[in-house]
Amino acid sequence: MTHRLMKPLTKFTLMLLLSLMSHFVMASDYPNKPITIITPFPPGSTSDLIPRLVAQVMAKSMGVSVLVENRPGANGSIGAFKVATSPADGYTILLATTGVLAINQWVYPKLSYSPSKDFDPVINAAATPNMIVVHPNVKAENLNELIALAKSQPGALSFASAGNGSTSHLCGETLKVTAGIDIVHIPYQGPAPAIQDVLSGRVGMICDNFSNVIQHVRAGRLKAIVITTLEKSLKITDIPTSADAGMPDLEAGIWYGFVAPSGTPKEIINKLNLEFAKALQDPDVTQKLDAIGLKIIADQPDTFRRFIAKEAARMQKVVKAAGAQIQ
């Protein structure tokens, strides 16, 4: 009698032990082969710079190669799907932005991945506000003049974005709604080609993240109109914020984090969190990110998970207000 009752329990216990042992062996042996960080945007932007900077430091610290692979398209959805469907073993990591984890689900009616179910947060790396910049030929020196210009020529001024549903797209749409102007959205596959067309004058303006455009402002190739944040940075005193310009509802920014496929062992998540944090605090990495206006965050996985949920709820309201859903 006792023997018959114990059989199912023994089998279940054995399976549980084997599963736990497998996770333990995987975590204790980690890493033993190259790690790949997927960045879901083209080269030439902050989304590409951050993983490449930390990868160099992490490779030395972890004793394996840390590779960076670009998988651009659909505002990060293509790269996100690649990681979401990869083995949950800590060897494929996603550089995930605000768009990937907090916006796409509200913009695209059919998304190939679930931001909340398909990933385990590792660390929120850094953040930066957006900034409206224009080509020097655009006859506006501040936000009021830009709005007046757009009102005087409805539909004549266009704005580039890093893609449908990106923070640069939502920023432009929010400006349209808030200021009551008619400007034309032109989406690109990533911020680098979008900025390039603004630099060439083919498109008049963009509201992209500060770290992507500040070097062009400093070089005189673009004019800064306003930083779309409410808080004045101690390091940026010469460019007005949207609050300074009298438009506090015009708020946009972007954060950059790292996530792993859902189900990755907690020990591996914690190790990755530690290694990313160490890399972000490396003096050379810190100096380069600080130079382009990035604020390093380097938080814990659970903190990042709660932050993502809060941001997703906030961005749902922004998308609805801006009318940015894509059919």
pLDDT tier, 21 (very low <50, low <70, confident <90, very high otherwise): low
Kindly tell me if the per-residue pLDDT of 300 is higher than 70. Answer: yes
Q: How far apart are CA 324 and CA 280, in angstroms?
A: 34
Residue 134 or 28, more confident: 134
**What is the model's pLDDT at position 229?**
83
- Whole-model pTM: value is 0.82
**What is the model's pLDDT at position 13?**
55
Q: In terms of Cα–Cα distance, which of 135, 209, 205 is closest to 176?
A: 205
**What is the model's pLDDT at position 28?**
75
**What is the model's pLDDT at position 183?**
95
* Highest-scoring range by mean pLDDT, 14-28, 37-51, 83-97: 83-97
Contact 60, 2 (CB under 8 A): no
Residue 164 or 172, more confident: 172
- 38-to-70, 97, 138, 217 alpha-carbon distances in Å: 6, 12, 37, 29
**What is the model's pLDDT at position 93?**
98
In percent, how much of the chain has pLDDT > 70?
Answer: 89
**What is the model's pLDDT at position 6?**
46
- 207-to-46, 105, 233 alpha-carbon distances in Å: 15, 21, 18
Write down all domains in the chain, each with its CATH number in brackets. 33-126+255-322 (3.40.190.150), 129-227 (3.40.190.10)
**What is the model's pLDDT at position 251?**
85
Kindly tell me if the per-residue pLDDT of 234 is higher than 90. Answer: no
Span 269-281, average pLDDT: 98
Residue 146 or 320, more confident: 146
**What is the model's pLDDT at position 196?**
96
- 229-to-38, 108, 111 alpha-carbon distances in Å: 29, 26, 29
pLDDT tier, 227 (very low <50, low <70, confident <90, very high otherwise): very high
Kindly tell me if the per-residue pLDDT of 1 is higher than 60. Answer: no
Spacing of C-alpha 84 from chain mean position: 16
